[in-house]
A and B are shown apart, each in its own frame.
Chain A
Amino acid sequence: MFRLEVRTSTPAWFNLVLPLLAIAATLILCSGLIALAGANVFESYGVMFTASLGDSYAITETLVRAAPMIFTGLAVAVAFRAKFWNIGAEGQLLAGAVASCFVGAIPMPGPLAMLLMAVAGAAAGAAVALVPATLRVRFKVDDVVSSLLLNSVIYYALMALIEGPWKDSFSGYPISPPIEDSANFPVLIEGTRLHLGVVAALIAAPLIWFLIVRTTLGFRIRVTGENPEAARYGGIHVERVLISTALLSGALAGLAGVGEVGGVHFQVMSDISPGYGYSGIVVAMLARLNPLGVVPAAIFLAAVMTGAEAMSRATGVPAFLSDVIQGTALLAMLVALLFTAYRIRRVGAIR
């Protein structure tokens, strides 16, 4: 007989094994769809892998795609650590993109422009995240729903901008004017799209890890998330911590938008984010809310996205497989997390 037991602690290797388990389960489940599409499963996954991680150019492309998801993944990880349920990274990203596009279009020296773009984008993202946090702290409004609904508000605001004052009067396309050439993020390796923002994302992860694990604010964030009553009892101003967390989380999501404007698109359009904000939730959960884990998790999702397009061309399996993989990975990871709460133990065999 087997019995479920409540676990009190989890070994450290779970952090690595559970995501791998979830990813393996996801790939096995999704292979059914590949087979349904009439393609060879191993060939399809093989193409997916080589096209995204097989050579140095492919790796740079994958990293470029991973950068926004590293930022949104960090945004979600930080927020969820404090149990501030920020589902609004998508809207915060868009706000960051719009703000940085505003700044980037002003003629000024390149480095200054890039710095101000980052500041403006982070501030815009933080301002958006401040809304659900304030509502929760002041009015006890559920942050899940308010942060989610704000995504739609920001999206329509962006649409109003690019179909209104920003609209390209020459072509009539709903796209913003491009930012100044001098504000374009420098490309680090000739012949690729690997831009400064990718490096910023890769540096941000250890910085946020340090902040969460080693600083007072990080400690407060963790305690607030794990046990708000104890935090309050211990003299932590829980409301203030939630606001700080929201500002940090929103700023990180805003930076995801900055990178897309400064390093990839150089302007704002309606589909500037193919759901990177929601992908951030997948990334953060796969990383078990560990900022260092966010990097490989984001690279995994990015590899799936870039790889899926090549796989589609080679085997005819629709590239939308990557969307299914994302959703399945999130659900599989949630199920895998049950192992952290329970353990299966054999009972009755010994008598």
Chain B
Amino acid sequence: MSAVFEQIFQVGFLAAIIRIATPLAFATLGEMFSERAGVLNLGIEGIMLLCAMTGFTATSLSGSLWLGVLVAVLTGMLMGALHALFTVALGLSQHVCGIGVTLFSSGLAYFLYRRIFGQQSVPPSIKGFQTLPIPVFSDIPVLGPAVFNQFALVYMAILAIPLAAFILYRTPWGLSVRMVGENPRAADSAGVIVIATRFQAVILGGALMGLAGAFLSMAQFNAFTFGVVSGRGWVAIALVVFGRWDPWRSAGAALLFAFVDALQLRMQASGLGHIPYEAFLMLPFIFTIVAMAFMSRNAVAPSALLKPFRREER
């Protein structure tokens, strides 16, 4: 009997890790594409919030979950384009613009949500994504129910990781992205249109941030609250650094953080944790800061990160 209990516990725990990791994986991959092209997007926190709001609203009004996801993705692309307009086309400082985009999009998210739904004592909710077991695979012991009995968006995140790696390392466009992030001058000489490539990468990043936001409000919480993102965007910024700007490592970092977070939730629920749960939530940030100190010596960050490109300046 206790063996069965233990197994359920493990399956539930594994499934929780995967669920927590999903929005982080989307967000981290999104931020990674942007940064690999040389554009730091600190707007991520606000963009995720705005996408969570627009996706939720679209679903709430239309009843269609996938329409909501589409709206969230389009919102993310639009905000990515906005950030790129400021940082790539106009060459304004990326960190200040990013903070501006975060302030603007989170303000807009709150404003529109309150305008559309008014002030309600119980926040409106939707019937969010349901788990979609994959036949045969979901029957695999332990791993099956944890990995193959999840939301459709979870499968998308799992597929997004190899896809991102493939795009970045195996396609001409991915090569262009890496070139404009490392040496835009050389890329320009080689005939790559730096501005366009950076725009595309930041917009693709925004789309992935949109998926992250959509997952939060449409699969994880099935409602939009003002704390729906609560720092997950900043976590993604940390995970990109921790994952050394690589899709596989970044996704691995997201999984590791999800493990720590799930553990923390378990300990809180079981009530036997003497360590405050905040200590766990702090970990990814502290680890990243420490890791940055060690990594800086072998300079793994895209060389042109934070540097605007102006063709006429030679």
Q: Do A and B bind each other?
A: yes
Q: In the complex the two chains form, is B234's CB within 8 Å of A148's CB?
A: yes
Please determine whether A282 and B103 come into contact, CB atoms closer than 8 angstroms: yes
Residues 272-314 (chain B) with a chain A CB within 8 angstroms: 276, 278-279, 281-282, 285-286, 288-289, 292-294, 296-297, 301, 305-306
Complex CA gap A143/B288 in Å reads: 13
Which among B90, B102, B276, B306 is the interface contact of A338 at CB below 8 angstroms?
A: B90
User: How many of B's residues come within 8 Å of A, CB to CB?
Assistant: 47
Complex contact B114–A149 (CB within 8 A): no
Q: Looking across the interface, which residue of chain A has its beta carbon closest to that of B111? A: A320
* Interface presence of B107 (CB below 8 A): yes
The range of chain A's interface size is 35 or more
- A130-161 at interface with B (beta carbon < 8 Å): 131, 135, 138-142, 144-146, 148-153, 155-157, 159-160
- Could you give, for residues 101-120 of chain B, a 1 whenever the CB lies within 8 Å of some chain A CB and a 0 otherwise? 11111111011001100000
Q: How far, in whole Å, are A156 and B130 apart by their CA atoms in the complex?
A: 32
A278 and B103 alpha carbons, distance in the complex (Å): 8
B117 to chain A, nearest CB (A): 10
Query: Which residue from chain B places its CB closest to the CB of A326 in the assembled complex?
Result: B103
Q: Name the prevailing secondary structure of the A interface residues.
A: helix
Q: Is the CB of A144 within 8 A of B288?
A: no
A135-B289, A139-B296, A337-B92 are known contacts. Are A148 and B103 too (CB-CB below 8 A)?
Answer: no
Chain B 77-99 interface 0/1 with A at a Cβ cutoff of 8 Å (1 = within)? 00000000010001011011101
| A168–B99 alpha-carbon span in the complex (Å) | 34
Are A321 and B276 closer than 8 Å at their CB atoms? no
Is B238's CB within 8 Å of the partner chain A?
yes
**Residues on the A chain within 8 Å of B241, using CB:** 145
Contact B106 A334 (CB under 8 A): no
B276 contacts which chain A residues (CB < 8 A)?
160, 163-164
- Whether the Cβ atoms of A320 and B114 lie closer than 8 Å is yes
Partner of B234, one of A152, A321, A338: A152
- Asked whether, in the complex, the Cβ of B289 is within 8 Å of the Cβ of A149, the reply is yes
Chain B interface mostly helix, strand, loop or mixed?
Answer: helix
Is A25 in contact with chain B by the CB < 8 A criterion?
A: no
Residues of B close to A163: CB separation below 8 A: 276, 278
Cβ of A242 under 8 Å from chain B: no
CB-based nearest A residue for B105? A327
Do B237 and A149 have beta carbons less than 8 Å apart? yes
**Nearest-CB residue, chain B, relative to A162:** B278
Contact A335 B111 (CB under 8 A): no
A213 to chain B, nearest CB (A): 23
Contacts of A157 in B (CB 8 A): 278, 282
Contacts of A139 in B (CB 8 A): 292-294, 296-297
**Binary B-proximity of A299-337 (CB < 8 A = 1, otherwise 0):** 000000000000000000010111111111011001101
Question: How many whole Å from A328's CB to the nearest CB in chain B?
Answer: 6
B40 proximal to A (CB < 8 A): yes
**Contact between chains at A323 and B289 (CB < 8 Å):** no
**Is B63 interfacial (CB-CB < 8 Å)?**
no
Does A51 sit at the interface, judged by CB under 8 A?
no
Q: How far is the CA of A339 from the CA of B39 in the complex (A)?
A: 23
The CA-CA distance from A54 to B269 in the complex, in Å, is: 51
- A256 part of interface (Cβ distance < 8 Å): no
- CB of B111 within 8 A of CB of A323, answer yes
CA distance A285 to B103 in the complex (A): 14
Q: Which residues from B are CB-within-8-Å of A337? A: 92
Contact A327 B279 (CB under 8 A): no
Q: How far is the CB of A331 from chain B (nearest CB, A)?
A: 4
CB–CB A140/B92 < 8 A: no
A281 contacts the other chain (CB 8 A) = yes
Residues of B within 8 A of A33 (CB): 108, 111
Residues of A within 8 A of B103 (CB): 275, 278, 282, 323, 326-327, 330
Partner of B86, one of A37, A148, A331: A331
Q: Identify which of A285, A325, A327 contacts B102 (C-beta below 8 A).
A: A327
Determine if A36 is an interface residue (Cβ-Cβ < 8 Å): yes
Residues of A near B252 (CB, < 8 A) are none
B99 touches A278 (CB 8 A): yes
Q: How far is the CA of A326 from the CA of B107 in the complex (A)?
A: 8
B293 and A141 contact, CB distance less than 8 A: yes
> How far is the CB of B57 from the nearest CB of chain A, in Å?
14
Residues of A with C-beta under 8 A to B110:
318, 320, 323
Distance of A146 Cα from B285 Cα, bound (Å): 9
* Min CB gap B9→A, angstroms: 26
Chain A residue nearest to B235 (CB atoms) is A152
Instruction: Tell me the bound Cα distance from A33 to B99 in angstroms.
Output: 21
Contact A160 B285 (CB under 8 A): no
CA distance A1 to B301 in the complex (A): 42
B81 vs chain A, min Cβ distance (A): 14
- In the docked arrangement, what's the CA distance between A140 and B299, Å? 9
The verdict on B100 contacting chain A, using a C-beta distance below 8 Å, is yes
Shortest distance between the CB of A243 and any CB in chain B (Å): 16
B96's partner among A131, A141, A328, A330 (CB-CB below 8 A) is: A330
Bound Cα distance from A36 to B40, whole angstroms: 32
Rank and list the top 3 A-B pairs by shortest CB-CB distance, nearest first: A327-B104, A323-B107, A327-B103
17 contacts across the A-B interface (CB closer than 8 A): A135-B292, A140-B297, A142-B306, A144-B95, A146-B292, A149-B237, A150-B285, A152-B282, A156-B281, A157-B278, A157-B282, A160-B276, A318-B115, A324-B104, A327-B100, A330-B96, A331-B97
Q: Can you add 11 more A-B contacts, CB < 8 Å, to A135-B289, A156-B282? A: A37-B115, A135-B293, A148-B234, A152-B234, A152-B281, A278-B102, A323-B107, A325-B107, A327-B46, A327-B108, A331-B100
